[in-house]
Amino acid sequence: MLAYLPARRLAAAGFLALTMTVAAPLMPAPIAAPPALAAEKGVFFPESFTLSNGMQVVVVPNHRVPVVTHMVWYKVGAADEERGQSGIAHFLEHLMFKGTEAIPPGEFSRIVAKNGGRDNAFTSYDYTAYYQNVARDRLEMVMRMEADRMANLKLTDAVVYPERDVIIEERRQRVENEPADRIGEQINATMFVHHPYGTPVIGWPQEMSTLTREMAESFYKTWYTPNNAILVVSGDVTAAELKPLAERYYGAIPARPVPERTRVSEPPMSAARQVVLRDEEVRQPSVRRTWIAPSYRLDPNGHAYALQVLAEIMSGGTTSRLYRSLVVDQKVATSAWLGYGPTAWDMATLGVGASPATGVPMDKLESALWAEVDKLLKSGVTEEEVATARKRMLAAAAYARDSLTGPAQTLGAALATGQSLDDVESWPVRIDAVTADQVNAAARAVLSQTNHVTGLLLPPTGKDS
């Protein structure tokens, strides 16, 4: 039920096109938005207010069905942990379901399910979020329960240490038994040698086994306060209807001082690095290469929006460059992608990768993939490619509001990583303004770096494709 976002696989949070661009080589391209509407500002048209204790509240009305998504985002994640306590943010996420005086351990989710709803939570490097999907008339109930555990979490050794065993087993099943996750973890650790983005969200095993109740309580008391949280509600409700409930339940919780979010900087690296993992469990070999890239918040040269357009050109469907060249024309790959996610508090990453077709040696696939990267750097993209990509992306943004949970996820992640509501709502205008020259400049700024990390996931020696 509970989740974390492993490695830097941001797609696990279900973000939409306006917060990240990911590979989707097998998906048909959406119908283009009408050109006259392409550059209009606005995606979700949210309503917002701030409680007296500093908690930001965002409402996205959607009256199609009498259902709401209720999400509380804390502006803290695995990258904010104290050194030596890796995994404590994710551990606390689990422990938040262990009860208060009013709601016994395990009852939170049972109450939500009994009332016909669904709930879950997830942890990333930069935020932790808790959500419920419920009928409109159950909204007050989940607000009361979520506010209760924001202020009144009660932990005992009897519930903490068995749950520590649960997260250790979760790591075994989701990381240690999955070669793709293991190499992703090692690529991250090789890419970020000093910054906490190199430490897995779920934690290193030797540190997870030493996490204590006192550590969890300290993390909770330090970061879980309304002035460090964002409430996002999407669905059949308006800000006028929600405000009295938010003031009653969340507004009654006193604010507390929150530490400044300070993280160490990554030292400059000029050497290319390689990670190779061979394992009997590998059924589909792959190669990937990752570069450090700007995020929305840390983008001094204004490349983030151009890089999103680049990802759409290179990897946005069956007509994209990589799919058409490597899968259709050369038939050396079963999949090929370029992915970039700019929603991060610190730096982001851009990666390219592919998996070989049956019988194709890895060195042949690698040569073909790097040739496509070289072609991009030398020849760039065309204005026609950029215009087509922009239309597809703007169409995706136009359809994004139809989702119930998508707006809450997108807005919460954006606000928790330093963006404003205006930044999100201006996304269509900014994407529509991207030119081929900007895409080419951004591609060269990132892909020309020599400090990349290449990862090879292979079967044991002698069993390569």
Strand, helix or coil for residue 335: strand
Distance CA 204, CA 87 (A): 7
Question: What residues contact 267, with CB distance under 8 A and at least 6 apart?
Answer: 193, 194
Contact 201, 274 (CB under 8 A): no
Q: Which two tokens stand for residue 218?
A: 């300290």
**Residue from 93, 146, 185, 312 carrying the catalytic annotation:** 93
Cβ(70)–Cβ(146) below 8 Å: yes
Q: Which of 123, 142, 145, 122 is nearest to 133 (CA)?
A: 142
Whether 309 and 434 have beta carbons less than 8 Å apart is answered as yes
Q: How far apart are CA 290 and CA 327, in angstroms?
A: 21
Asked if 385 is an active-site residue, the reply is no
How far, in Å, CA of 267 to CA of 380, rounded?
30
Name beta bridge partners: 453: 273, 290
C-alpha count within 13 angstroms, C-beta hemisphere, residue 438:
17
For residue 374, count CB atoms less than 10 angstroms from its CB and return exposed for 0-12, middle for 13-18, buried for 19 or more.
exposed
Spatial separation of the C-alpha atoms in residues 280 and 6, rounded to whole Å: 22
First to last CA, the chain: 36
Cα(210)–Cα(332) distance, integer angstroms: 46
Contacts for 205 with CB less than 8 Å, ≥ 6 apart: 168, 171, 176
Distances (CA, A) of 350 to 286, 288, 353, 447: 17, 10, 10, 9
Residue 129: both structure tokens together = 């979020």
Q: Which residues are catalytic?
A: 93
